[in-house]
């Protein structure tokens, strides 16, 4: 499982929330949850593989009590694991206010995760 900041352009945090994807030009819809989230995109688990660069409409239900984030997005990678697919999705034309909202949530998650890892007893 992913445990913190890696070498991506945007820091990622473990922040499970509900997401709905609608594959552009089709009626295919996917309801799932995030594996991790960043200001530039998310990782989700899907039952079906989506092609790289596939365009989707995205609705992201954050746990902060505000309306969902809605934007277009693009699949940037997909890796099969068991019967499901880890899928990386990049936000496109996301509103600035939604990026700021995501950044606040991510920073709070990372601080909380860092604090809890510091407070774990050493064996």
Q: Quick check: 6 pLDDT over 70?
A: no
Instruction: Report the pLDDT value the prediction gives residue 32, as an integer from 0 to 100.
Output: 93
Q: Taking all residues of the chain, what is their mean pLDDT, rounded to a whole number?
A: 86
pLDDT score for 101 = 93
- Show me where the domains of the chain are located: 12-117
Give one DSSP letter per residue of 10-50, joined into a string. S-EE----EEEEEETTS--EEEEEEEEEESSEEEEEESSPP
pTM of the model: 0.80
Residues 94-104: pLDDT tens digits? 999 999 999 99
Q: What is the CATH number of domain 12-117?
A: 2.40.10.220
Structure confidence at residue 119 (pLDDT)? 61
pLDDT in tens, 42-88: 999 999 999 999 999 999 999 888 999 999 999 999 999 889 999 99
Predicted local confidence at residue 121, as pLDDT: 61
Do residues 38 and 10 make contact, with C-beta atoms less than 8 angstroms apart?
Answer: yes
- 40 vs 71: CA distance, rounded Å: 12
Q: Calculate the alpha carbon distances from 119 to 68, 113, 114, 115 in Å.
A: 33, 10, 9, 6
For 21-41, write each residue's pLDDT tens digit.
Answer: 999 999 999 999 988 898 899
Is pLDDT at 5 greater than 70 in this prediction? no
């Amino acid at each position: 499982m992913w445990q913190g900041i890696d070498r991506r352009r945007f820091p990622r945090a473990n922040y499970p929330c509900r997401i709905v994807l609608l594959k552009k030009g089709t009626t295919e819809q996917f309801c799932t949850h995030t594996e991790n989230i960043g200001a530039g995109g998310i990782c989700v688990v899907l039952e079906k593989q989506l092609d790289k660069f596939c365009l989707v409409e995205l609705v992201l239900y954050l746990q902060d009590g505000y309306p969902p984030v809605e934007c277009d997005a693009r699949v940037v990678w997909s890796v099969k694991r068991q019967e499901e697919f880890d899928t990386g999705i990049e936000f496109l034309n996301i509103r600035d206010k939604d990026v700021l909202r995501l950044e606040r949530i991510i920073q709070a998650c990372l601080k909380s995760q860092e604090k809890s890892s510091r407070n774990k007893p050493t064996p």
